A and B are shown apart, each in its own frame.
Chain A
Amino acid sequence: DAKTTQPNSMESNEEEPVHLPCNHSTISGTDYIHWYRQLPSQGPEYVIHGLTSNVNNRMASLAIAEDRKSSTLILHRATLRDAAVYYCILRDALAGGTSYGKLTFGQGTILTVHP
């Protein structure tokens, strides 16, 4: 599985934008970039995903570098509820066999939001 590298932790103030980086220098052409987050004492939840173009949804934006070797999850206005562990995951859309649909989680980035 292609690996991702994320900072262990980041801090932000409430109502400020947050940029969470992810490096994935060995990304392949069929790898999608997925972001999940895990709030305290809950299971992970899907945030956003993309392939080459920048993506926006109601939760966040995903900015993907032109060479696809890095990406950034953007929370436009952090709230206290956004404090969580954020996971950047590469998922091969065409993988078959035992890799079919597989998500491989790393350690993620712990985001702390200060009031």
Chain B
Amino acid sequence: EAGVAQSPRYKIIEKRQSVAFWCNPISGHATLYWYQQILGQGPKLLIQFQNNGVVDDSQLPKDRFSAERLKGVDSTLKIQPAKLEDSAVYLCASSLEPGGAYNEQFFGPGTRLTVL
């Protein structure tokens, strides 16, 4: 079974530039998550999609971050303009359904962003 795919794996940009990350979840997974992981910390949820709709984007800095999920499958996360503090690993995860007792989230390898 193919896992969660993310690209690019690495990106280096200068502050005030824009950047986009792409995620392809596991086939059939209705729920998609974007996390931000700053060095030395655990992942922090930025946004959660259920099919096409947003379930939770309370921690997404909406003045600079945006995300969309096309046709309930692939997703892109964009940062415009980037700040130094956006340097982090951006992880995409997916799950069959969000709720219930068992909800294994499958994570992609992440995109490491460095903002200079």
Contact = CB atoms under 8 A, between A and B. Distances in A.
Nearest to B97: A101
Interface residues of A, number: 28
Interface in A60-107: 85, 87, 91, 93-96, 98-107
Contacts, number: 70
B111 to A, nearest CB: 11
Chain A interface, DSSP helix/strand/loop, else mixed: loop
A86 to B, nearest CB: 11
B91 interface: yes
**Range for the number of chain B residues in contact with chain A:** 20 to 34
A43 B108 contact: yes
Contacts of B100: 93
Contact of A87 (B42, B93, B101): B42
A68 B97 CA distance: 26
Interface string B30-49: 01000100001111110010
Interface of B: 4, 31, 35, 40-45, 48, 50, 55-56, 58, 91, 93, 95, 97-110
